[in-house]
């Protein structure tokens, strides 16, 4: 039965019952109307409205569920579906809505993969230019300053040495940016070595204490999985340094139940509700790309925990 006929039938039942009561019940209306007759009519109208409202609420309840899901659905949290039951137009609407969600999630995953691949390619290009152009130019400046300092007198030599130190510091910063943009150690030595280098570099530049807990003999992941874990760890450390007010962080990498789990925990101020900006949305997109699950929990005064659980790649037969 279509939604139109269901609503029409419900109203017809209510109005039919009201008409039957007027026809066969010992109820009359005087002119002018008596108080008892007015009470009977008002009570009857109230009963009719309540019954009609209850029947319509029951008949249109599936639409309310669809509306509620529409207002809360997030394509970065896939798997949200409504149960389909009954017959008629409403279940068909729910099935269509679920199919639309599945299609949108698939398209979002494909588009996110393209964006992230393009982003990584651009990072590699910028890192290469920084290394080849800026890095080599600053190295040449260091050599020139060194030769000039060797031939200069005392006061000028000190100034040239200071310029050398400033240039050397800038060169180190450029190299650090290159490593952040393109983690070459990830390609050469693997995820554990890359995370160790990342946390050591982070602790050196921020002064925060970083504790590493990595399981031994972790299974190998594909390149996309390792890159997603690395970038999520990188973003989590950056957020902790900028916003958490933490003194100690713990980075753990563990394998259990057919998945590798990365956990970044800080002892900062924490927050009541996690506001998902561009950084967290980017982490969710990376999790979506490799079919992983990202959980972020935070408590006021107890810090924040970021956990990414990535499934192990299937073995090719």
pLDDT for 281-296, tens place per residue?
888 888 888 888 888 8
Say what the pLDDT of residue 316 is: 46
Say what the pLDDT of residue 263 is: 92
Say what the pLDDT of residue 315 is: 60
Say what the pLDDT of residue 3 is: 60
Lowest mean pLDDT, pick from 76-80, 213-217, 218-222: 76-80
Average pLDDT, the chain: 79
pLDDT at 59 > cutoff 70? no
* Confidence grade of residue 317 (pLDDT, cut at 50, 70, 90): very low
User: Nearest Cα to 268, choosing from 236, 233, 301, 295?
Assistant: 301
Report which of residues 207 and 68 the model is more confident about.
207
pLDDT at 236 > cutoff 80? yes
Over residues 181-203, the mean pLDDT reads: 82
Report which of residues 251 and 177 the model is more confident about.
251
The predicted model scores a pTM of: 0.63
Over residues 19-44, the mean pLDDT reads: 71
Report which of residues 315 and 280 the model is more confident about.
280
Over residues 91-120, the mean pLDDT reads: 78
pLDDT at 125 > cutoff 60? yes
pLDDT at 262 > cutoff 80? yes
């Amino acid at each position: 039965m279509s939604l139109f006929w269901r609503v029409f039938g419900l109203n017809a039942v209510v109005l039919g019952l009201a008409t039957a009561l007027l026809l066969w019940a010992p109820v009359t209306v005087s002119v002018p109307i008596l108080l008892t007759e007015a009470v009977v009519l008002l009570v009857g109208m109230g009963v009719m409205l309540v019954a009609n409202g209850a029947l319509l609420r029951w008949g249109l309840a599936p639409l309310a569920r669809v509306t509620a899901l529409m207002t809360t659905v997030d394509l970065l949290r896939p798997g949200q579906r409504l149960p389909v039951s009954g017959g008629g137009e409403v279940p068909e609407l729910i099935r269509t809505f679920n199919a639309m969600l599945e299609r949108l999630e698939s398209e979002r995953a494909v588009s996110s993969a393209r964006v992230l691949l393009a982003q990584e390619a651009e990072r590699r290009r910028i890192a290469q230019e920084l290394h080849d152009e800026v890095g080599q130019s600053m190295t040449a400046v260091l050599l020139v300053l060194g030769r000039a300092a060797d031939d200069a007198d005392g006061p000028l030599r000190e100034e040239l040495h200071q310029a050398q130190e400033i240039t050397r510091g800038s060169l180190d910063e450029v190299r650090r940016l290159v490593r952040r943009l393109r983690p070459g150690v990830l390609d050469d030595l693997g995820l554990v070595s890359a995370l160790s280098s990342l946390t050591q570099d982070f602790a050196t530049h921020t002064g925060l204490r970083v504790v590493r807990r990595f399981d031994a003999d972790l299974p190998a992941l594909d390149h996309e999985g390792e890159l997603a874990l690395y970038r999520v760890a990188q973003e989590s450390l950056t957020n902790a340094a900028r916003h958490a007010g933490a003194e100690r962080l713990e980075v753990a990498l563990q394998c259990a139940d057919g998945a590798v789990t990365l956990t970044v925990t800080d002892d900062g101020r924490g927050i009541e509700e996690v506001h998902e900006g561009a950084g967290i949305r980017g982490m969710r997109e990376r999790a979506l790309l490799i079919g992983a699950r990202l959980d972020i929990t935070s408590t006021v005064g107890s810090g924040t925990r970021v956990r990414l659980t990535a499934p192990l790649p299937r073995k090719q037969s």
